[in-house]
Amino acid sequence: MPKVKVNDRTVEVPPGTSAMDAIFHAGYDVPLFCAERHLSPTGSCRMCLVRAGAPRKGPDGEWITDESGEVKIFWFPKLMASCTLAVSEGMVIDTLSDEVRHAQSGMVELTLANHPLDCPTCDKGGACDLQDRAYEYGLDAKFYTGPAGEPVYTRYAFTKRHVDKHHPLSEFIVLDRERCIHCKRCVRYFEEIPGDQVLDFIERAVHTFIGTADDGLPSNFSGNITDICPVGALLDRVARFRGRNWEFEQTPSVSTDDASGQFIWIDARSGRIERIRARENPELNDIWISDAARFGHEWADQDRITTPMVRKGGSLEPATWEEALAAMRQGLEGVERGRVGIVLPGDATVEEGLAAAELSKQLESGFLDFEGRTAVPASNFPAASFASVLEADYLLVVGDPTEELPIAHVWIHKRLRGVPMPPRFNHGTPIADLAIREHTPPDPRLLGAFAPHPTRVMAWAEARGVFEPGHASAFFAAFEAVLAGREPTEVAGVEPEAIRRAADRWRAAEKRVLFLGAEVLMDPEAAKLAEKIAKSQGAGVFAMTPAANARGLEAMGVWPTGDREGPRVAFIAAEAPPQKLLEMTEFRVFHAARMSDVVRRRADVVLPAKTPYEKRGTLLNAESRLVGLEPAHVDAGEAEGLTQALGLFADALGVQAPVRFVHQARKRFQERYRIDLDKLEPYGTLWRPRVSLTPRPVAPAEGNLYLRPSMWKARHRLGAVVQRALGALELAAHPETALAEGLDEGATLEVETPLGTLGARLVFDPELPKGWFFLPAGTPAARLPFRALVPQGGETS
């Protein structure tokens, strides 16, 4: 490994390391604006100038020496941008000399020449790279003094450039073109990370600005540019004007918005969540999170239930905990223990799952379920880690990762671009990783993508196809046929050639990863075939479950068993509990954080719940990695966790709950599995429990309205900004199908869904299978009869 001398320290770094990382690795600092972890270094800001030199070898293969016999250092004739300079054996880097400091302060001066310096009103103030460096270099008396030795604040005598200051790039992102320093991080980000090139430099030279021609930044990952912007040019419109950086109480936690368990920072102020930011986890989400995780937190402050409530004379009234307990006692009196149903939310923690499973066992009740459960347990499939995606030779996707497990989309794109797992330095992830290159097109040969509707990843796939909803098993049967050396059996809508090619590549690959969407997990027959293919070929599987903690809850035994009579009473912590359960029960205790229609209409007693942002607990994500939630500083009134609420519910039943507190659950967990949930690894602990559960259908699939997966869950859509950004739900159909129903493009209508009657706008998509309507709402991959209510005279052009 090359030895590099940085000022007075010598370090050894892997070949191909940038000078910048060698400098940080040695414990020195160099200013930078454009380099960023996980992005290609481009050297566009010229901030990281250093003096560098290297020895040379003579024709004899020996190092050339100077007169005194020392190895001679040939200095580069000019200062070099350290982010794009690769180290070589014996390189010498100088970051401290006057020459270097002068050049760097000159760069700060140039960058500031047209910067508005509106830091007092800028949301980035206090967390701004440019501000920090301006403090560091701005008034260096050595370089900037007037004739009398007085400090010079600026040498720029002209009016600053005035351009668009509050330009909304989308409903989520606002751009201040005066603050922009043209580092190009956001432009590179969109191309290299999600692969949606929706932002670019427009015009050139002094007129250059960041702009888009694709309305509203169509990407599921647009928010990350607000994190990486080194100045306050790109700001998050949910968080904008909500506080200064130093006022936030920052809590490192985990997002429960999908099954990936992305690491987040929760920034709260005065008891309210003001902002969500990405938290680095190089094994899971790098420094990126999905837009749903970032912008979809507003529901946590809306219509909060802060005290217990009891139904009195037809309406729910606030009550004390004692009154709530008394009301529960009354309602549960004489109920047979085995006829108590418990439904957890899909993002209930492992601890809560354990508490519920223990209680259910004690009650000898088989009605234990969770929201977003799939027919086939995710635990049936051998888990794969995200890092293994980068090593895979073939990726087969049956589903829509961009919507179902957004961060998987990023890892798939990284794999197709050939980005290796970065090394770790003393300062962590390389800041300027020369192994990442700009404009690397994704390699389509590595990916096969199939789904019941067109997906984003299909654009990168060599083998792709859209099959009809419910035909996933036919697809896997055809796939298996090719693996067995036969001709592919017919799958409506998919070209046999695509299946043949995917299966051939799959067979030829050494390391394979399979992504399964809800469409497969909801279909026991398809899942069985997929499981067989994965297991016989030793492939890792991502089961992209709608529930954030499906693997964790399954591992704890939260799964319906037995064929008993229906429950008579229920403890419901789910947001949208199954209609059937609501109808068959006589008494219902809701554990809810937020007042909703179903709570208002159906609850007999309501216990105030904590949102996932306020919990301490653990999730087992789609990789089967334990990741820990930490409670943010949020004012939640008298809200209690699920474990405590269940304990109270058990009291009302006259039963002593085996687990009443999170720490008890953790103790039991440690006894059982020898893992201390208080001390997880910083990036989460991989844990592959053995779970055996019997598949159990969720609901009969009838009808031609297909609920396609969406990153945006019902609760995200409650936020005002998200609502404005997403607009009406899009009901998509093949033009022929829609016209046959008398519906024209752009028609507004109301559709009956499990979430109630939702307003939607009809869009045509000729690539969709005929005969179906697709709506991104509710439980993914569920099918129900299409009932469109009175078109409200929308614009039927």
Partner 1 sequence: MGFFDDKQEWLAEVFAQYPEDRRRSALMPLLRRVQQDEGYVDFERMKEIAELVGTTATEVAGVMSFYSYYQGLPTGKYHIQVCRTLSCKLAGADELWHTLTERLGILPGEVTPDGRFSLQAVECLGSCHTGPVIQVGDEPYVERVTKARLEALLEGLMQDKPLDEVRKTLPDEDKMGKATIELDGEGGAS
Which residues of this chain interact with partner 1, rule CB under 8 A? Answer: 196-205, 211-214, 441, 443-444, 459
The minimum distance between CB 32 and partner 1, in angstroms, equals: 24
Tokens 């334990």, located at residue:
626
Closest CA to 233 of 164, 283, 320: 164
| Count of Cβ atoms closer than 10 Å to residue 493 Cβ | 18
Q: Which two tokens stand for residue 64?
A: 């050339």
Q: Which two tokens stand for residue 674?
A: 């020898």
Q: Say which residues have a Cβ less than 8 Å from residue 541's Cβ, sequence separation at least 6.
A: 381, 382, 383, 384, 513, 514, 515, 516, 530, 534
| Degrees, nearest 5: CA angle 608-609-610 | 135
Comparison of 417 and 717: residue with beta carbon closer to partner 1: 417
**Distances from the Cα of 671 to the Cα of 245, 665, 677, 682, angstroms:** 42, 10, 11, 22
| Degrees, nearest 5: CA angle 560-561-566 | 75
Comparison of 196 and 274: residue with beta carbon closer to partner 1: 196
Residue 270, burial from CB neighbour count under 10 angstroms (0-12, 13-18, 19+) = exposed
Comparison of 125 and 216: residue with beta carbon closer to partner 1: 216
Comparison of 223 and 612: residue with beta carbon closer to partner 1: 223
Tokens 């986890």, located at residue:
281
The minimum distance between CB 204 and partner 1, in angstroms, equals: 5
Residue 142, burial from CB neighbour count under 10 angstroms (0-12, 13-18, 19+) = exposed
Q: Say which residues have a Cβ less than 8 Å from residue 711's Cβ, sequence separation at least 6.
A: 220, 257, 258, 290, 291, 292, 402, 403, 404, 406
Comparison of 40 and 255: residue with beta carbon closer to partner 1: 40
For residues 713 and 547, the answer to whether their CB atoms sit within 8 Å is no
The minimum distance between CB 206 and partner 1, in angstroms, equals: 10
Q: Supply φ then ψ for residue 419, to 5 degrees.
A: -80, 125
The minimum distance between CB 99 and partner 1, in angstroms, equals: 30
Helix 321-332 and helix 642-653, axial crossing angle in degrees, nearest 10 = 50
| Residues forming beta bridges with residue 762, ordered by sequence position | 731
The minimum distance between CB 200 and partner 1, in angstroms, equals: 3
The minimum distance between CB 201 and partner 1, in angstroms, equals: 6
Q: Supply φ then ψ for residue 553, to 5 degrees.
A: -65, -40
Comparison of 441 and 746: residue with beta carbon closer to partner 1: 441
Comparison of 186 and 343: residue with beta carbon closer to partner 1: 186
Determine the 3-state secondary structure of 602 from DSSP.
helix
| DSSP structure string for 490-556 | P-TTS-HHHHHHHHHHHHH-SSEEEEE-HHHHT-HHHHHHHHHHHHHHT-EEEE--SSTTHHHHHHT
For residues 582 and 598, the answer to whether their CB atoms sit within 8 Å is yes
Give 564-579 as a 3 state SS string.
CCCCCEEEECCCCCCH
Comparison of 198 and 503: residue with beta carbon closer to partner 1: 198
| Residues forming beta bridges with residue 12, ordered by sequence position | 3
Q: Amino acid identity of 9? A: R
Give the whole-angstrom CA distance, residue 651 versus residue 643. Answer: 12
Comparison of 198 and 348: residue with beta carbon closer to partner 1: 198
Closest CA to 568 of 545, 549, 584: 584
Q: Amino acid identity of 672? A: R
Comparison of 265 and 460: residue with beta carbon closer to partner 1: 460
| Count of Cβ atoms closer than 10 Å to residue 313 Cβ | 5
Residue 273 Cα to chain centre, angstroms: 18
The minimum distance between CB 410 and partner 1, in angstroms, equals: 18
The minimum distance between CB 282 and partner 1, in angstroms, equals: 28
Comparison of 99 and 443: residue with beta carbon closer to partner 1: 443
Comparison of 75 and 201: residue with beta carbon closer to partner 1: 201
Give the whole-angstrom CA distance, residue 727 versus residue 153. Answer: 48
Give the whole-angstrom CA distance, residue 522 versus residue 526. Answer: 9
Closest CA to 196 of 406, 452, 45: 406
| Count of Cβ atoms closer than 10 Å to residue 117 Cβ | 14
Q: Where are the alpha helices (DSSP H) in 15-155?
A: 19-25, 98-113, 129-137
For residues 573 and 589, the answer to whether their CB atoms sit within 8 Å is no
| Count of Cβ atoms closer than 10 Å to residue 16 Cβ | 14
The minimum distance between CB 647 and partner 1, in angstroms, equals: 53
| Residues forming beta bridges with residue 592, ordered by sequence position | 608
The minimum distance between CB 460 and partner 1, in angstroms, equals: 10
Comparison of 395 and 662: residue with beta carbon closer to partner 1: 395
The minimum distance between CB 423 and partner 1, in angstroms, equals: 28
| DSSP structure string for 675-730 | --TTS--TT-EE------------S---SSEEE---SS-TTGGGSHHHHHHH-SEE
The minimum distance between CB 588 and partner 1, in angstroms, equals: 49
What is the DSSP-derived secondary structure letter of residue 48?
A: T
The minimum distance between CB 222 and partner 1, in angstroms, equals: 12
Comparison of 12 and 443: residue with beta carbon closer to partner 1: 443
Comparison of 172 and 467: residue with beta carbon closer to partner 1: 172
The minimum distance between CB 493 and partner 1, in angstroms, equals: 22
Comparison of 219 and 385: residue with beta carbon closer to partner 1: 219
Comparison of 148 and 213: residue with beta carbon closer to partner 1: 213
The minimum distance between CB 376 and partner 1, in angstroms, equals: 36
Comparison of 357 and 416: residue with beta carbon closer to partner 1: 416
The minimum distance between CB 180 and partner 1, in angstroms, equals: 15
The minimum distance between CB 190 and partner 1, in angstroms, equals: 9
The minimum distance between CB 645 and partner 1, in angstroms, equals: 48
